[in-house]
Chains A and B, each alone.
Chain A
């Protein structure tokens, strides 16, 4: 074949070098790939592939019918000497409505199925392992709950994982074809990516939002390990044994402790030991869930969402420019740790611990009602 000849002419080295990086079972295109897709490595992949193939076959049938009819007409009614066009009706409302409505029904199903699978893939269950993914021109950094960092992503088989995406500079997009999932990494806000790997191996990670000169070099690997222990052993950490929340505590004492207590007693500002995951009521009566976006926003723009009782104008000054995004992540880890000691500390078990530990100062202790809170940023 033509391309193979060209490979032979100049590119064999390059291909071999690439292929040799992986043993057979890690191969990027192992036997389980289909014609259209890489292997199905996440719980969502099967659904996506099924719907894709459904649309593919429906489209193919439509397309073949259209082109078939077209070719038939072109041959049958081609212009020939002595034969003119034959009269036929040029309008038929019934047939117009039929060919408008019938395809619509199929489209409704596509939409329904697509939306269903999408919603399924959108929300991580409670207790999913949370890994912070930092995109930066032009590499990725992955920060695990215990503060360890690596430059390749390491996941554990069958463990629901919520990636918290953050950009240091421009837009990026986190894409693992084998997971069939993709999410933009947007500077100035957090976005989320949920995945439950169902296959161990090594999978490609791409940046799919154009980010400058070396955009095409901004790729890495996602390793899915059979168990936590294997992961611990195999991962090459950038930073090891370094707890995110401890950093956060240090930063908190330096910057926040003047106004915020962590003993449940309100000071100039509200106490922060139990707020993580709760719903707060704001001065205008709306409610907001305390999550990464809210904390980050409040640190940068204290007046954006002022909690009821501390307004109308917040006494807090902005920490934008004083705390880096990384610092804010550490503070968030600390707040998580305060609410639930053990989190923000070391790797969490796959199943969430049954009971949240008691925090006596706060009377209402039930976790905030789970709701699919869309990102609160502008432009939603």
Chain B
């Protein structure tokens, strides 16, 4: 085999024939079965959802700038409203912020968008196992999100994203549209889950054992288990809620002898594991980012892999910790508290292993690595504050206050959103064949980091002092914290917008890069950039995803190649380049 040809096939550019230019026209995108194009459509979709829900977030933060709902900007927007109406507007804003963020953005963000693009390539496969189902999953996402938007137009939605009964039965807002939307989004998530489980099980490259998979795949696999096992329960819960609202079946409605707490059990049986649908793939992204950009084999591979599975399984046993004050029995409460603590261990193990990976590495402080480091910082806070909430006596005080709001934003935004952005900056050169402006990327990362902390750290203090969540107006003693928080939210918003601008700019104007600009060792980096329609023109060479010693820099191609395909005229160097 001619080394030169293979080098170009494996690690070169693919300007003429790649999946982006493979066919033209809107229909060739809308009806595509290619996982990469579906991934990109998902990326556009979830980013739009992020922006919509983010605008809601900024509006409600603006509203909260003053404690008595007197901020003028919103009055201009919604007319000279009375106190009563501004509460209504606020309630709808936080509900739709939550519902769209959770169901339409965070849950599909890393698995369905990044995962779709990366997973088959990491496996060395041509596509996911069921490409049609993959496309169906995307359109279900579109319809589901559409229903959430319809709910917005049909009287809005003011139940909170949790749809707690009996309020969700009584309110005159568009609960049925929204729950039906969430129901459809659930199926979208199930389809992705089934696809990933089957793809990983049956379509690994020949010779790739379970423990030779990149850890991102372990994370996606664990996530898929949760998606498949938990989401159906949400589906039936929401159907029952719709039946309750439209027919009055009486199962959740206390007026008919039903039990609202039962709804909470049903809801959290899904929605707690869903928290891990949100964070596990993010952890997988971080494992890749840290190892590649430190050029270091991941420390404790099997511990990280098994901790993903452990989190997935334990995640099913802790839903009751959302209900410590709900009137569930004391014994049940004690058990849930105990199991909740056990989830903390595998999460901590991951953080320690990431730290140990940095040891003696060659740490490039580029944009993806900056996001990975800020993930460790923010997820560290998010995870540790979880301890306050797992502990029974303190949770009774902190439950449903801003402490909880801050805690889960540290995990969901500081964790998942950070990892999502980091993952985009990491795989962007692969999927578009172009490099972004790294300096501006890092500025965006810093703004996200700083803005995020400014937004949510004050909320811990407010929460401990007793500020309840979902309050449209509040006592003046909390005003200082709310104002810092609002300022931070705008900084965070600017950071996210800047990051998107940097990425979009790169798609058209970025510097062209070849297949493997980071010196990564997992299989997707053996394709050309952007990859060809079938991912690999040449069968990828099975390779340990964390063996960076056998990846060397090739000046001729200006990219990293496997040592055996090194230009024979060059001396292989194990020293990574500094850009």
Binding site for B on A (CB under 8 A): 2-4, 6-7, 10-11, 14-15, 18-19, 28-29, 33, 35-38, 44, 47-48, 51-52, 55-56, 59, 62-63, 66-67, 69-70, 73-74, 77-88, 90-92, 95-96, 99-100, 103-104, 107-108, 110-111, 113-119, 121-122, 169-171, 173, 175, 177-178, 180-184, 186-189, 191, 204, 206-217, 300-301, 320, 372, 374-375, 377-380
Q: A91–B391 contact, CB under 8 A? A: no
Which residue of the partner chain, among A77, A103, A117, A207, contacts B358 with CB atoms under 8 Å? A77
Cβ distance A67 to chain B, nearest Cβ, rounded Å: 6
Bound-state CA distance A107–B461 (Å) is 23
Q: B300–A92 contact, CB under 8 A? A: yes
29 A-B contact pairs sorted by A residue (CB < 8 Å): A47-B393, A51-B393, A55-B388, A63-B381, A66-B355, A67-B377, A69-B355, A73-B363, A90-B300, A99-B348, A99-B349, A100-B345, A103-B348, A104-B345, A111-B392, A113-B391, A113-B393, A114-B390, A175-B466, A187-B254, A188-B260, A189-B254, A189-B327, A204-B475, A207-B468, A209-B400, A210-B167, A216-B470, A379-B328
Q: A111–B170 contact, CB under 8 A? A: no
Which residue of the partner chain, among B65, B337, B349, contacts A115 with CB atoms under 8 Å? B337
Provided the pairs A11-B66, A67-B377, A91-B300 are in contact, do residues A73 and B361 lie with their beta carbons within 8 angstroms? Answer: yes
Q: B575–A121 contact, CB under 8 A? A: no
A-facing mask of B101-127, CB < 8 A → 1, else 0? Answer: 000000000000000000000000000
Bound-state CA distance A117–B334 (Å) is 12
Cβ distance A359 to chain B, nearest Cβ, rounded Å: 31
Instruction: Give the residue name and chain of the B residue nearest to A18 (CB).
Output: B476
Provided the pairs A77-B360, A78-B365, A79-B363 are in contact, do residues A170 and B166 lie with their beta carbons within 8 angstroms? Answer: yes
Q: B87–A29 contact, CB under 8 A? A: no
Q: A52–B400 contact, CB under 8 A? A: no
Q: A79–B364 contact, CB under 8 A? A: yes
Bound-state CA distance A107–B390 (Å) is 10
Give the A-B contact count at a CB cut-off of 8 A.
326
Q: A7–B479 contact, CB under 8 A? A: yes
Bound-state CA distance A208–B330 (Å) is 20
B480 sits at the interface (CB 8 A): yes
Cβ distance A22 to chain B, nearest Cβ, rounded Å: 11
Stretch at the interface among B139-147, B291-299, B414-422: B291-299
Which residue of the partner chain, among B373, B388, B401, contacts A208 with CB atoms under 8 Å? B401
B487 sits at the interface (CB 8 A): yes
Q: A67–B380 contact, CB under 8 A? A: yes
Provided the pairs A83-B575, A107-B344 are in contact, do residues A181 and B397 lie with their beta carbons within 8 angstroms? Answer: yes
A-facing mask of B318-352, CB < 8 A → 1, else 0? Answer: 00000001111111111001100100110011011
Q: A37–B394 contact, CB under 8 A? A: no
Q: B334–A211 contact, CB under 8 A? A: no
Q: B91–A215 contact, CB under 8 A? A: yes
Instruction: Give the residue name and chain of the A residue nearest to B164 (CB).
Output: A171
Q: A91–B360 contact, CB under 8 A? A: no
B474 sits at the interface (CB 8 A): yes
Which residue of the partner chain, among A19, A87, A170, contacts B360 with CB atoms under 8 Å? A87
Measured between beta carbons, the chain B residues less than 8 angstroms from A209 are 164, 400
Measured between beta carbons, the chain A residues less than 8 angstroms from B262 are 378-379
Cβ distance A163 to chain B, nearest Cβ, rounded Å: 13
Q: B351–A96 contact, CB under 8 A? A: no
Task: Name 5 extra pairs, CB < 8 A, besides A189-B254, A215-B87.
Answer: A55-B387, A115-B334, A182-B399, A188-B260, A208-B401
Q: B261–A103 contact, CB under 8 A? A: no
Instruction: Give the residue name and chain of the B residue nearest to A114 (CB).
Output: B391
Measured between beta carbons, the chain A residues less than 8 angstroms from B510 are none
Query: Most B CB atoms within 10 A — which of A83, A169, A173, A377?
Result: A377
Q: B341–A111 contact, CB under 8 A? A: yes
Measured between beta carbons, the chain B residues less than 8 angstroms from A111 are 337-338, 341, 390-392
Q: A208–B399 contact, CB under 8 A? A: yes
B385 sits at the interface (CB 8 A): yes
Bound-state CA distance A212–B362 (Å) is 54
Query: Most A CB atoms within 10 A — which of B298, B333, B461, B464?
Result: B464
Cβ distance A26 to chain B, nearest Cβ, rounded Å: 14
B449-484 interface (Cβ within 8 A of A): 461, 464-466, 468-477, 479-480, 483-484
Measured between beta carbons, the chain B residues less than 8 angstroms from A81 are 575, 578
Of the four ranges (under 10, 10 to 19, 20 to 34, 35 or more), the interface on chain B belongs to: 35 or more
Bound-state CA distance A17–B329 (Å) is 43
Cβ distance A341 to chain B, nearest Cβ, rounded Å: 31
Bound-state CA distance A119–B337 (Å) is 13
Cβ distance B68 to chain A, nearest Cβ, rounded Å: 5
Q: A215–B470 contact, CB under 8 A? A: yes
Bound-state CA distance A86–B358 (Å) is 11
A-facing mask of B378-390, CB < 8 A → 1, else 0? Answer: 0011001101101
Q: B358–A175 contact, CB under 8 A? A: no
B538 sits at the interface (CB 8 A): no
Bound-state CA distance A178–B464 (Å) is 10
Q: A78–B363 contact, CB under 8 A? A: yes
Cβ distance B318 to chain A, nearest Cβ, rounded Å: 13
Provided the pairs A36-B464, A212-B171, A213-B91 are in contact, do residues A107 and B259 lie with their beta carbons within 8 angstroms? Answer: no
B130 sits at the interface (CB 8 A): no
Instruction: Give the residue name and chain of the B residue nearest to A177 (CB).
Output: B466
B153 sits at the interface (CB 8 A): no
B303 sits at the interface (CB 8 A): yes
Which residue of the partner chain, among B331, B464, B475, contacts A37 with CB atoms under 8 Å? B464
Measured between beta carbons, the chain A residues less than 8 angstroms from B348 are 99-100, 103
Q: A103–B345 contact, CB under 8 A? A: yes
Cβ distance B345 to chain A, nearest Cβ, rounded Å: 6
Q: A28–B294 contact, CB under 8 A? A: no
Q: A180–B334 contact, CB under 8 A? A: no
Cβ distance B106 to chain A, nearest Cβ, rounded Å: 20
B576 sits at the interface (CB 8 A): yes
Q: A114–B299 contact, CB under 8 A? A: no
Please list the 10 inter-chain residue pairs (A to B) with the smallest Cβ-Cβ separation, ordered nearest first. Answer: A177-B466, A188-B254, A374-B329, A114-B391, A117-B393, A118-B392, A216-B471, A59-B384, A73-B358, A208-B400
Measured between beta carbons, the chain B residues less than 8 angstroms from A208 are 399-401, 468-469
B505 sits at the interface (CB 8 A): no
Q: A379–B337 contact, CB under 8 A? A: no
Q: A217–B391 contact, CB under 8 A? A: no
Instruction: Give the residue name and chain of the A residue nearest to B385 (CB).
Output: A59
Instruction: Give the residue name and chain of the A residue nearest to B331 (CB).
Output: A374
Q: A118–B396 contact, CB under 8 A? A: yes
Bound-state CA distance A48–B401 (Å) is 15
B232 sits at the interface (CB 8 A): no
Cβ distance A214 to chain B, nearest Cβ, rounded Å: 6
B76 sits at the interface (CB 8 A): no
Cβ distance B519 to chain A, nearest Cβ, rounded Å: 10
Bound-state CA distance A115–B341 (Å) is 12
Q: A70–B399 contact, CB under 8 A? A: no
